[in-house]
């Protein structure tokens, strides 16, 4: 319970920064911090493997991917973002506060359903692997197909950009070579 009380405000603060900060790189880094704190929370609660996977995939892959995309794309206009904020914030809060109210109401209603199994043992990796590769084989195969499709799709995007830049370069080169050389020598 104590790590939970310490980690929850930190996760919320990091997420608030990720939502609030106008500079995109700061927001992305605070998202990485929130995800890493969630991974630490999984480690303290007994879900070691899930915490490590969260750390590797979320922090190591997704957050780094987002930061790199921010570096590749042009940084947005922060002054424009800040000037637009009050109006969009009113609309956003008007839409999200009812959602939050409904969620918190249902949480307060369902709080009595707890079984009190506070000492439920953590699972071993063997249990998880056995469950994953005996009863959930179709799901594992579906995820494998999904990841393969995503990999091919991302490679096609990257290759398309490369091919177009190469063809542009090739057309420049052919224009330059087709043009007859000017005689500069006397």
Residues 68-87 that bind another protein (CB under 8 A): 69-70, 72-74, 76, 81, 84-85
Residue 111 contacts another protein per CB under 8 A: yes
Which of residues 91, 134, 177, 182 is near another protein by CB under 8 A? 91
Residues 112-131 that bind another protein (CB under 8 A): 113-115, 117-118, 120, 123, 127-128, 131
In the chain, the N- to C-terminal Cα span, in Å, equals 90
Q: Tell me the closest approach of the beta carbon of residue 89 to another protein, in angstroms.
A: 6
Q: Tell me the closest approach of the beta carbon of residue 5 to another protein, in angstroms.
A: 8
Name the one residue in this structure whose structure tokens are 């006397």.
186
x/- site string to another protein, residues 17 to 46, per CB under 8 A?
Answer: -xx----x--xx--x--xx--x--xx--xx
C-alpha distances in Å from residue 129, one per residue of 14, 31, 40, 74, 95: 33, 30, 22, 43, 42
Name the region of 116 (left: φ>0; alpha: ψ -120 to 50; beta: rest).
left
CA angle 93, 67, 89 (to 5 degrees): 10
């Amino acid at each position: 319970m104590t790590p939970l009380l310490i980690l929850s405000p930190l996760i919320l603060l990091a997420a608030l920064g990720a939502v609030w900060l106008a500079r995109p790189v700061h927001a992305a880094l605070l998202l990485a911090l929130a995800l890493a704190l969630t991974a630490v929370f999984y480690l303290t609660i007994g879900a070691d493997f899930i915490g490590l996977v969260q750390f590797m995939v979320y922090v190591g892959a997704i957050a780094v991917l987002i930061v790199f995309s921010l570096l590749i794309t042009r940084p947005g206009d922060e002054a424009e973002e800040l000037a637009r904020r009050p109006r969009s914030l009113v609309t956003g809060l008007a839409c999200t506060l009812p959602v939050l109210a409904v969620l918190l109401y249902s949480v307060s209603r369902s709080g009595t359903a707890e079984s009190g199994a506070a000492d439920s043992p953590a699972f071993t990796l063997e249990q998880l692997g056995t469950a994953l590769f005996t009863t959930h084989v179709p799901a594992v195969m579906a995820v494998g197909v999904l990841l393969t499709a995503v990999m091919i799709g991302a490679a096609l995007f990257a290759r398309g950009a490369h091919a177009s830049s190469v063809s542009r370069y090739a057309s420049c080169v052919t224009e330059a070579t087709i043009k007859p050389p000017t005689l500069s020598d006397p």
